[in-house]
């Protein structure tokens, strides 16, 4: 079979068949009297084998080795191909992410495109300082896709850079909640923590409260606490027991006390919070630091009952607790006098 007919039957061009011959990959078995290449049935079969291996992504050199080396193991080559393909897909996914980020920013000119590319390059830096500068150095008026910032938040291990990213995301005006919600369901607890902290700062983003409510049932204590703080600030009363527990344990107790103060603006919840704090005071008479934290949480609550509890604590057997409670009573009295003066004027 001459080269033209082989090309028609195999779909391999005559130029490529000559290249196969030059490489020693598929050499025609014979020659005609005129010196033309003449392929046997076995030669054609080998051409199809080469085409099959090329479809797997092998180079011609690799194919030659596969067909000629008796010691060659297909499994090793397939394993290499899997790794190369995974690497290529990862690079292409990264390119796709960049293109989508640029598209989401709706750039009106090349300057906008270049700014997004510059930001992505900065966020991929190995230097935490460089990553932070990339976020904080964004010129005013240049929109940044919320999805890009949300993805960076989930991947950022440095607390300072993460804080800058959360700040930028909360002010981006976009909706990165979907990306963060996926992070909140990650098997990686660090990613879940980053996701919940970021969502907590997106106070008005649609769907944020629902994600936080789901995170409130997370098996990780830190995730639950971040969710409780954010839900408390949003007026979700189910967070009360966790917030009181945070005050007791000294875990973000100042933030927890502030969230309890917000919740206490609900008259039906104020009595519940007061009762929970007073019960904890009664249950922990020997822990001075804990009782002081509870007193600090009490002073943030409205109502006369707060005064009564603090006045009682001012005579506590624990001198440190008594001194702190006395100081708080003084603060409340001064605050009340100022309020009366303002009303009189």
The residues, ordered by sequence, that sit 6+ positions from 148 with a Cβ below 8 Å of its Cβ are 101, 104, 116, 119, 120, 123
- Pair (300, 343) in one structural domain: yes
Range with the poorest average pLDDT among 1-5, 107-111, 114-118, 212-216: 107-111
Same domain for 147 and 185, yes or no, is yes
The answer to which of 167-176, 277-286, 311-320 has the lowest mean pLDDT is: 167-176
**Strongest mean pLDDT among 105-119, 223-237, 258-272:** 223-237
Residue 156's domain spans which residues? 105-223
**Is the pLDDT reported for residue 220 higher than 90?**
yes
- Residue among 197, 196, 204 at smallest CA distance from 171: 204
Q: Report the pLDDT value the prediction gives residue 279, as an integer from 0 to 100.
A: 92
205 and 240 both lie in a single domain: no
For the ranges 100-109, 139-148, 297-306, the lowest mean pLDDT is seen at 100-109
304 and 279 within one domain = yes
Query: Same domain for 187 and 276?
Result: no
Q: Is the pTM of this model over 0.85?
A: no
Tell me: pLDDT of 262 over 80.
yes
Which of the four pLDDT bands, split at 50, 70 and 90, describes residue 246? Answer: very high
Backbone angles phi, psi at 147, to 5 degrees: -65, -35
Above 80 in pLDDT, residue 47?
yes
Helix (H) or strand (E) holding 51: helix 41-54
Residue 99 belongs to some domain of the structure? no
Q: For residue range 287-344, what is the model confidence (pLDDT) as tens digits?
A: 899 999 999 898 888 777 888 888 889 888 889 999 998 998 888 877 776 665 555 5
pLDDT digits (tens, 9 = 90+) for 67-82: 777 666 667 667 777 8
Q: Quickly state the pLDDT bin for 192 (edges 50, 70, 90).
A: very high
Q: Are residues 55 and 146 in the same domain?
A: no
Residue bearing the bigger pLDDT, 102 or 308: 308
Q: Based on the domain organization, do 240 and 218 belong to the same domain?
A: no
Q: Distance (Å, rounded) from C-alpha 281 to C-alpha 269?
A: 19
- Reported confidence tier of residue 243, pLDDT bands at 50, 70, 90: very high
Cα 288 to chain centroid distance, Å, stands at 39
Model pLDDT, residue 73:
65
Query: Within a 13 Å sphere around the CA of 221, how many CA atoms are in the beta-carbon half?
Result: 6
- Residue 247 has which token pair? 């005050």
Number of domain units in the chain: 3
Q: Which long-range contacts (CB under 8 A, 24 or more apart) does 233-242 make?
A: 233/200, 233/203, 233/258, 233/259, 233/262, 234/203, 234/209, 235/262, 235/263, 235/266, 236/209, 237/263, 237/266, 237/269, 237/272, 239/263, 240/269, 240/272, 240/273, 240/276, 241/276, 242/216
Q: What is the pLDDT of residue 271?
A: 87
Helix (H) or strand (E) holding 327: helix 319-344
Q: Contact, 256 vs 264, CB < 8 A?
A: no
């Amino acid at each position: 079979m001459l080269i033209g007919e082989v090309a028609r039957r195999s779909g391999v061009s005559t130029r490529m068949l000559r290249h196969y011959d030059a490489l020693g990959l598929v050499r025609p078995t014979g020659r005609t009297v005129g010196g033309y290449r003449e392929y046997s049935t076995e030669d054609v079969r080998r051409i199809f084998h080469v085409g099959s291996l090329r479809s797997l992504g092998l180079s011609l050199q690799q194919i030659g080795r596969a067909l000629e080396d008796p010691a060659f193991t297909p499994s090793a080559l397939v394993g290499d191909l899997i790794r190369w393909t995974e690497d290529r897909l990862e690079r292409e996914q990264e390119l796709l992410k960049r293109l989508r980020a640029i598209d989401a920013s709706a750039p009106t000119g090349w300057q906008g495109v270049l700014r997004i590319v510059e930001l992505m390059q900065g966020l991929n830096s190995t230097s935490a300082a460089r990553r932070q500068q990339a976020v904080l150095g964004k010129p005013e008026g240049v929109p940044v896709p919320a999805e890009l910032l949300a993805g960076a938040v989930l991947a950022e291990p440095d607390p300072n850079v993460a804080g800058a990213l959360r700040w930028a995301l909360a002010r981006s005006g976009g909706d990165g909640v979907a990306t963060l919600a996926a992070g909140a369901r990650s098997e990686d607890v660090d990613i879940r923590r980053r996701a919940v902290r970021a969502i907590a700062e997106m106070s008005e983003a649609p769907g944020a409260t629902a994600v936080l409510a789901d995170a409130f049932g997370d098996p990780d204590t830190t995730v639950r606490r971040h969710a409780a703080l954010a839900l408390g600030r949003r007026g979700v009363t189910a967070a009360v027991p966790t917030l009181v527990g945070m005050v007791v344990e000294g875990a973000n107790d100042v933030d927890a006390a502030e969230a309890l103060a917000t919740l206490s603006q609900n008259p039906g919840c104020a009595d519940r919070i007061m009762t929970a704090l007073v019960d904890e005071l009664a249950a922990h008479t020997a822990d001075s630091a804990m009782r002081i934290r509870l007193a600090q949480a009490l002073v943030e609550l409205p109502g006369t009952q707060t005064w009564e509890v603090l006045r009682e604590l001012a005579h506590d057997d624990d001198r440190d607790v008594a001194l702190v409670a006395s100081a708080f009573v003084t603060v409340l009295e001064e605050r009340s006098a100022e309020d009366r003066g303002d009303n009189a004027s």
